[in-house]
A and B are shown apart, each in its own frame.
Chain A
Amino acid sequence: MRARLAQATRTPPGRLRLAGVVLAVLTVAFGGLTAWQLETRASAADRVVSYSQPLSRDAAEIHRSLADAATTASSGFLLAGTEPRDVRARYEQDLAQAAKLISQAAARTTETSPAQDSLSRLNQQLPVYAGLVESARADNRQGIPLGGAYLRYASEQMQTVLLPAAAELNTIETRELADDYTAARSVPWGAYGLAVLTLAALGWVQVTLFRRTNRVFNVGLLGATAAVLAGTLWLAVAGVTTGSALERSDHEGATPLRALNAARVDVLSARLAENLNLVARGSTATYNGQYADATKRLAGIAGRSTPMRRRSGSLPNALALAPGAADQALATAADQYDSWQDRYQDALKAEVGDADYQGALNKTVSATDTTSTADAAFNGTDRALAQAADIEQARFEAAADGTAGDLRLAAGAAAVLGLVAAAAALRGLGRRLAEYR
């Protein structure tokens, strides 16, 4: 082998032939590697847009729907015979939404995925929960206190079985999204490295030829250089622009959405505890404790006098991470949240201070009053957060959509340019080689 190589390099045509082979291999390899690396990133970007982000969004929505169902069921319970149709409809809608998304997620999840376990728990426990809520409703309508015990039991099942399973699913899907983001945004160092090597080889061959033949330009080799340069440039531009688009979709979409979803679930937990305290009718301090914990998680212990941004908790966190477009909605949410806290304190004062249970109940949730209750302010918070979520989801889509297409186009271009460069280099060297015949 070594001998044959030495033989080949001893004569000028041999050297030229060898250079031709090396350049052809390098340019084709550059095109191939670049195309392959960009295609890998394109499919990761595709997964982000059409698979892992929607799954992560659905997992968050399952979590939120379940928490919302528990909260709404408890509101309906407190209103008993006067439960408005809307409240019942919202509960049913929550259950339907959760059931639909659970089965969709199950269909999209592979047999071996760690998500299977949480999904099957959700699947098994959702009907159990719904049955307990119906028992609570039936007992409550007959006026027997057992209904309250059933509702508290149902809520406990929700809090200790269903919501943790949903949170787990959410974590798994979020991790998958993060992995896809990393894959889509990783820099194709291999392609860059090979580009440099190929350009160096082309340059070296041209300089050597210039020294030997005193001909300044070899059109073929120049063309090959231009093609490789164009491929590299395309690679760089596509890499940087899609990278920054994905970065933006994460920064303005996926990440703030995650923070927002955490805040929304905390809002629902607080509202559920507030209701359960009234369901328990002063028989335990557990639920006031749960309320305090949930609101502390949400926005810390600082009150209205501290601006939301300066508090610590999931709501200020969602506010800090949110893109400017969602600021307005989040400001409304923060404002409504503070009203809700005031009304909660009012109701608590009525219940504990003045022993006015009915008064406390009326201040918290009412079938007729839909503006000045704690429930109304909670709904205001919830709606504003939902609006912010829509905005952030739209930002995500606007930024991430099309990145896979751009990467795929660049991959195709790099493959073609690699072949063009190989052909041009061989042609250019072929001209020189012809001079030896």
Chain B
Amino acid sequence: MRSTTVPTRSAAALAVLAACAAVLGGGGPSGAVPTAATGAPQAVQQTQQQQAQSDTCDIYASVPPSSVDGPAVKAIKARRSLVIGVDQNSYRWGARNPNTGQIEGFDIDLARAIGTAIMGDPEKVVLKPVATADRVDAVQKNRVDLIVRTMTVNCKRMEDVAFSKPYFSITQRVLVPKTSPAKNLDEAIGGRNVCVAKGSTAADVFDPAKNGAKKDAGAHLTVVENQLDCLVLMQLGKVDATMTDDGLAAGQAAQDQTVRIVDGDVQPEVIGVAMLKGSTDLTARVNQVLADYHAGGEWGRSYDRWLKPYMLNDAEHYWPVPH
């Protein structure tokens, strides 16, 4: 996790002042719940819709649900196994429990539900860890049939792979140590040393080339390989704040009682299940499972089990609703 420091704007004096303020204003909220901060659901929903509409494509668009077996589903059934690409490093989403050797989490529940519904037998579902950068390639090269791995739906990716209807709404949030006096997102990143994962949405937020929403925040970026590396650097006092999506932020807060998620968010997005572009029958099938999974309450129960203790809102807040 080689890290590089990229000053987005020279604001050394500001940084020093801010650091002094951080020291002087130490303390901060110290409740037992890691996410004591209250969200702003209304504002979130609004920006989310604005963002979605400003895109050149409809990220909520997917084929209608159907439970008919088309050629793609039949081919998978003939092969007797459905391979689903997952993550094994995102705590509470998809992570390998070192003591049991099993991968578990919210995405894993969903992957198993989809697999079992299509194959009729959980034994025929193979969960295959896939690296973040390898997701599109793994689908296109047929190494996996589906990707259930906190994969953001966006227009560029929709050109490469097909997405199901989105199953979770996320935004970019900021984590700080509990001792930080920052009251909201802007205070937490303004002129500070902020950690982001390489190639992540959070990195784009600060990127002037991509016209990121916070490109003018004067933040000094520390770019690392994996979002968890940010938590290490934050624990060691090498960065002031970490930006990542709310799901992963929840995972970090779950692993460390001394960090909190500050108020405010940017860059609302949705995540979906990715698969091969031509397999419309498979996409329709997955959409059917997703609809049933949500309607049947399993989606909410899985949320309650894995994510609720660390998230700011109830399950339904995160179910993506098209505008």
- Fill in one digit per residue for B192-234: 1 if any A CB lies within 8 Å of its CB, else 0: 0000000000000000000000000000000001101101110
Are A146 and B96 in contact (CB-based, < 8 A)? Answer: no
Are B229 and A357 in contact (CB-based, < 8 A)? Answer: no
Q: Which of B87, B97, B130, B133 contacts A143 (CB 8 A)?
A: B97
Q: Interface-forming stretch among A10-18, A281-289, A323-331?
A: A281-289
Are B127 and A153 in contact (CB-based, < 8 A)? Answer: no
Are B129 and A355 in contact (CB-based, < 8 A)? Answer: yes
Which residues on B sit within 8 Å (CB–CB) of A80?
98-99
A153 touching B1 in the complex, CB below 8 Å, given contacts A145-B91, A355-B128: yes
Q: With both chains docked as a complex, state the minimum distance between the C-beta of A154 and any C-beta of chain B, in angstroms.
A: 9
Which residues on B sit within 8 Å (CB–CB) of A351?
129
Are B232 and A146 in contact (CB-based, < 8 A)? Answer: yes
Q: With both chains docked as a complex, state the minimum distance between the C-beta of B150 and any C-beta of chain A, in angstroms.
A: 12
Cα-based distance from A146 to B132 in the complex (angstroms): 17
Which residues on B sit within 8 Å (CB–CB) of A150?
232
Question: How many of chain A's residues have a CB under 8 angstroms from any CB in B?
Answer: 29
Which residues on A sit within 8 Å (CB–CB) of B19?
none
Are B99 and A283 in contact (CB-based, < 8 A)? Answer: no
Q: With both chains docked as a complex, state the minimum distance between the C-beta of A286 and any C-beta of chain B, in angstroms.
A: 7
**B83 interface contact, C-beta 8 A:** yes
Within 8 A of A (CB), among B277-309: none
**B68 interface contact, C-beta 8 A:** no
**B180 interface contact, C-beta 8 A:** no
A145 touching B228 in the complex, CB below 8 Å, given contacts A283-B87, A283-B89: yes
Within 8 A of A (CB), among B215-272: 225-226, 228-229, 231-233, 235, 252, 254-256
**B2 interface contact, C-beta 8 A:** yes
Residue of A at shortest CB range from B254? A144
A143 touching B1 in the complex, CB below 8 Å, given contacts A150-B232, A281-B88, A286-B225: no
**B76 interface contact, C-beta 8 A:** no
Are B88 and A149 in contact (CB-based, < 8 A)? Answer: no
Are B232 and A149 in contact (CB-based, < 8 A)? Answer: yes
Are B89 and A145 in contact (CB-based, < 8 A)? Answer: yes
- Fill in one digit per residue for A260-287: 1 if any B CB lies within 8 Å of its CB, else 0: 0000000000000000000011111110
Cα-based distance from A351 to B126 in the complex (angstroms): 12
By secondary structure, the A interface counts as helix
Q: With both chains docked as a complex, state the minimum distance between the C-beta of A325 and any C-beta of chain B, in angstroms.
A: 43
A282 touching B228 in the complex, CB below 8 Å, given contacts A143-B97, A357-B88: no
By secondary structure, the B interface counts as mixed
Within 8 A of B (CB), among A215-230: none
**A81 interface contact, C-beta 8 A:** yes
Which residues on A sit within 8 Å (CB–CB) of B231?
146, 149
Q: Which of B101, B130, B225, B254 contacts A282 (CB 8 A)?
A: B130
Are B129 and A149 in contact (CB-based, < 8 A)? Answer: no
Q: Which of B1, B131, B132 contacts A152 (CB 8 A)?
A: B1
Which residues on A sit within 8 Å (CB–CB) of B252?
146
**A20 interface contact, C-beta 8 A:** no
Cα-based distance from A148 to B90 in the complex (angstroms): 11
Are A284 and B127 in contact (CB-based, < 8 A)? Answer: no
Which residues on B sit within 8 Å (CB–CB) of A147?
98
Cα-based distance from A285 to B199 in the complex (angstroms): 14
Cα-based distance from A160 to B254 in the complex (angstroms): 30
Q: Which of B97, B126, B228, B233 contacts A148 (CB 8 A)?
A: B228
Which residues on A sit within 8 Å (CB–CB) of B132?
283
Q: Which of A156, A355, A361 contacts B83 (CB 8 A)?
A: A355
A81 touching B99 in the complex, CB below 8 Å, given contacts A144-B91, A283-B131, A284-B131: yes
Which residues on B sit within 8 Å (CB–CB) of A286?
225
Which of B101, B232, B254 has most chain A Cβ within 10 Å?
Answer: B232
**A370 interface contact, C-beta 8 A:** no
Cα-based distance from A361 to B127 in the complex (angstroms): 16
A281 touching B129 in the complex, CB below 8 Å, given contacts A144-B255, A149-B231, A150-B232: yes
**A140 interface contact, C-beta 8 A:** yes
- Fill in one digit per residue for A79-93: 1 if any B CB lies within 8 Å of its CB, else 0: 011000000000000
Q: With both chains docked as a complex, state the minimum distance between the C-beta of A175 and any C-beta of chain B, in angstroms.
A: 30
Are A152 and B229 in contact (CB-based, < 8 A)? Answer: yes
Are B232 and A282 in contact (CB-based, < 8 A)? Answer: no
Which residues on A sit within 8 Å (CB–CB) of B134?
285
**A358 interface contact, C-beta 8 A:** yes
**B95 interface contact, C-beta 8 A:** yes
Are B98 and A140 in contact (CB-based, < 8 A)? Answer: yes
Which residues on A sit within 8 Å (CB–CB) of B91?
144-146
Which residues on A sit within 8 Å (CB–CB) of B233?
153
- Fill in one digit per residue for A339-366: 1 if any B CB lies within 8 Å of its CB, else 0: 0000000000001000101100100000
Are B1 and A358 in contact (CB-based, < 8 A)? Answer: no
Are B2 and A284 in contact (CB-based, < 8 A)? Answer: no
Which residues on A sit within 8 Å (CB–CB) of B83?
355
Cα-based distance from A139 to B203 in the complex (angstroms): 27
Within 8 A of A (CB), among B61-108: 83, 87-91, 95-99, 101, 103
Are A357 and B95 in contact (CB-based, < 8 A)? Answer: no
Residue of B at shortest CB range from A144? B255
Which residues on A sit within 8 Å (CB–CB) of B89?
145, 148, 280-283
Are A153 and B229 in contact (CB-based, < 8 A)? Answer: yes
Residue of B at shortest CB range from A156? B1
Q: With both chains docked as a complex, state the minimum distance between the C-beta of A319 and any C-beta of chain B, in angstroms.
A: 34
Q: Which of B87, B126, B225, B255 contacts A284 (CB 8 A)?
A: B225
Q: With both chains docked as a complex, state the minimum distance between the C-beta of B99 and any C-beta of chain A, in angstroms.
A: 5
Cα-based distance from A351 to B127 in the complex (angstroms): 11
Cα-based distance from A150 to B226 in the complex (angstroms): 12
Within 8 A of B (CB), among A168-221: none
Which residues on A sit within 8 Å (CB–CB) of B103?
357
List 12 A–B pairs whose Cβ atoms lie within 8 Å, in order of A's numbering: A145-B95, A146-B91, A146-B252, A148-B228, A149-B1, A281-B89, A281-B96, A283-B129, A283-B131, A284-B225, A285-B131, A355-B126
For the complex of A and B, the 10 pairs showing the least CB-CB separation, nearest first, are: A355-B128, A282-B129, A149-B228, A281-B88, A144-B255, A80-B98, A283-B89, A146-B255, A149-B232, A358-B101
